[in-house]
A and B are shown apart, each in its own frame.
Chain A
Amino acid sequence: MLKYIARRFVNYLVLVFVATSLAYVLASMTLSPISRYLATGRRVDLNSVHANLRSYNMDPGTPIWTRYWRWLNGIFVHGNFGKVFPGNEQVTTEMARRIGVSLRLLLVGTLLAVVFGVLLGVYSALRQYKVSDHVLTFVSFILLSTPVFLLATLIKFGAIKLNGAVGSVWFPTSDEYDPGQAGDILARMQHLILPTAVLVLGPAGAAFFSRYQRSAMLDVLGSDFLRTAQAKGLTKRKAFYKHGLRTALIPMATFFAFTFGLLITGATFTEIIFNWHGMGQWSVETIQAADINGIAAVTGFVAVMILISSLLSDIFYAILDPRVRIN
């Protein structure tokens, strides 16, 4: 097992390196941070612009491979991913802050989505073809067909209308906390409500999990070992919880690992629409700002997250399912 994991891990590291390098080179070749200075319309001295860009290691006057080499050197020798463009912030500082913001949102959102999804899926499977099953199926189909940006917009519009009708801000629709009140825990929770609701209701949320859980559950309900367990004398309820539910939960662990890994930037729309300063929002902002250092960092981070979740999902599977053997 350990050898297997080690081999895959090395393989993954190579992929992460290639993906990040590709993003860096691609962004350097196509984006032009210099146009940001020229677009202001004011008079700027080109020499000072170049000097300025050199401190970001983004000067178009320097050959691209020299810049790439410096960037690599910065990462591997100094652990330095460069500066955020424009500004004087280090990429690592900015990224650490944003990962924190995204994690807060995602941890709550994904956990709630899984819990609701599993519960609804089990309920749906136990009441197959009854009215409640049909209703749940139909609703989850609609939720699965609604793009996140549309759902988030709908919820935001609804909240604005509601806040207007009530006359006070029950559901804040912007930022992670009230401006200037970063320490107010209650307000932070309030700000968490709407984006979390989007994650739970969205196409990668509870509806998604409930469909998988339902079909896994139905497979298990018709299986021989459940009948055998009952024939041995277990009550229906006990056989169901001890043998059935546990088996049906195995695939969920995989989905959980994957959803979480993908969501960390997949919450892009949610973060942008509710103005959360997380990784998802940054992934779009760096492209719009032609921030090459930022783009490379985001890409590297996404690659790492995908690979970790891929690895995790396999490990979960191997641990939970005794039939899986590694050779």
Chain B
Amino acid sequence: MTNPIQIRPGDGGIEEPLMPEAPAGGAGAGGMAPLLEAEAGGGGGGGTGPDRPGRNISRGRLVWMRFRRKKLALIGVILLVAIAVLAWAGPYLTHWKVDTLDPDLSQANKGPTSHHWFGSDQIGHDLFIQTISGLQKSLTVGLVAALLSTFIAAVVGSLAGYFGKLTNTVLIWIVDMMLVVPSFLILAIISPKLRGKSFLLFAVLLAAFSWMITARVVRGLTLSLREREFVSAARFMGVHPITIIRRHILPNMASFLIVDVTLNVGGAILAETSLSYFGFGVQAPDVTLGTLIADGTSNPGTSQAYLWAFPGAFLILIVLGVNFIGDGLRDALDATSGMQA
């Protein structure tokens, strides 16, 4: 398909992959790419299992200490925090409103000035406040879609993996179906009908078409966790299957799920902006980074760079930040990534 669904090549696609199942939480576990290797070399294998607290040091602290060592990941955090602060504090920094026009027409259609920080469009909208508003919407859509999609994937994948048999057959069939369904077409048909409704509905729509590959990985991880002693023990003690999944299966793949959410935020924002570029995404009157860039570039021969450069730059910075963090998290959460404490 096109952009909304990231097909991750490592996962073999529709049928059962021939390649060996990806290692839990580790580099190839379906994430975007093993972009950076553990920077802290040596140290031997990380002895403590991912679920057991360390002896002298809590797991959270260990992860944080590993994460802190990654300069790029820290840059990513700072970038995203700064952008988020700007997105929600921005409206208080300027007296312009999203819907007001500059009454002084000599100020319209101009590049950045002290009056309009990011310039103004032809009819006199202030582009700074437009960009801020777009930032808010894009960040929200990305976060909601990512959380939702990983949640669906975790539920479907773990149910299919844990119960097997008919449940597995039916769920995997649904996953395969969703993968071949023309999601781009469906999004393109439904999105314009969401005009006037909450833009969050679009985030839900996006999530509905982006959980499948993760669900397959979760299923694979569940299959191997199901055979572990602590799960058998719980089962023999008569613990309810749903409780086992909730308390024992899912927490043990938390690292994978966390990395997945993180990278999905970037993926969802890219999907949203790409679809909005065609007019198939978030609908007017709501603006997002995608619609702003689309408006700014609609006239390639004549339009000025300031019309799309600011939303474009923010878009790249957000996705960059997300990728840095996802990458750092993957190494920090990976029990085999070396550094002990």
A147 and B270 within 8 A (CB)? yes
Does B37 lie at the interface of the complex (its beta carbon under 8 Å from any beta carbon of A)?
yes
- With contacts A19-B182, A299-B185, A310-B12 taken as known, whether A265 is within 8 angstroms of B2 at the C-beta atoms is yes
B102-110, B128-136, B216-224, B312-320: which lies at the interface: B312-320
B111-119, B142-150, B194-202, B293-301: which lies at the interface: B293-301
Q: Which residues of B contact A280 (CB under 8 A)?
A: 2
A27 and B189 within 8 A (CB)? yes
B14 and A157 within 8 A (CB)? no
**Which chain A residues (121-171) contact chain B, with CB distance < 8 Å?**
128-129, 137, 140-142, 144-150, 153-154, 156-157, 160
**Which chain B residues (274-294) contact chain A, with CB distance < 8 Å?**
274, 277-278, 280, 293
- Which chain B residue lies CB-closest to A15? B180
B142 to chain A, nearest CB (A): 13
- Which chain A residue lies CB-closest to B13? A310
Q: How many residues of A contact B (CB 8 A)?
A: 68
CA distance A259 to B12 in the complex (A): 12
Q: Which residues of B contact A68 (CB under 8 A)?
A: none
Does A289 lie at the interface of the complex (its beta carbon under 8 Å from any beta carbon of B)?
no
Does B7 lie at the interface of the complex (its beta carbon under 8 Å from any beta carbon of A)?
yes
A306 and B293 within 8 A (CB)? no
Does A26 lie at the interface of the complex (its beta carbon under 8 Å from any beta carbon of B)?
yes
Does A51 lie at the interface of the complex (its beta carbon under 8 Å from any beta carbon of B)?
no
Partner of A150, one of B27, B177, B316: B316
The total of Cβ contacts below 8 Å across the A-B interface reads 158
- With contacts A18-B180, A212-B33 taken as known, whether A306 is within 8 angstroms of B185 at the C-beta atoms is no
- With contacts A23-B182, A26-B186, A31-B189 taken as known, whether A218 is within 8 angstroms of B37 at the C-beta atoms is yes
A266 and B2 within 8 A (CB)? yes
Does A251 lie at the interface of the complex (its beta carbon under 8 Å from any beta carbon of B)?
yes
Partner of B34, one of A30, A212, A269: A212
CA distance A313 to B14 in the complex (A): 11
Identify 27 residue pairs between A and B in the complex whose beta-carbon atoms are under 8 Å apart, listed by A's number.
Answer: A11-B15, A19-B181, A22-B181, A22-B182, A23-B182, A26-B182, A26-B189, A141-B320, A144-B323, A146-B316, A147-B274, A149-B293, A153-B297, A153-B312, A157-B305, A208-B33, A215-B35, A254-B19, A258-B7, A258-B13, A269-B277, A283-B2, A302-B182, A313-B12, A314-B15, A317-B18, A326-B18
Residues of chain A at the chain B interface (Cβ within 8 Å): 8, 11-12, 15-16, 18-19, 22-23, 26-27, 30-31, 128-129, 137, 140-142, 144-150, 153-154, 156-157, 160, 173, 208, 211-212, 215, 218, 251, 254-255, 258-259, 262, 265-266, 268-269, 273, 280, 283-284, 287, 295, 299, 302-303, 306-307, 309-310, 313-314, 317-318, 321, 323-324, 326
Known: A144-B32, A258-B7, A314-B12. 14 other contacts (CB 8 A): A11-B14, A18-B177, A26-B186, A147-B319, A149-B274, A150-B316, A153-B312, A160-B300, A259-B9, A302-B1, A310-B15, A324-B19, A324-B20, A326-B18
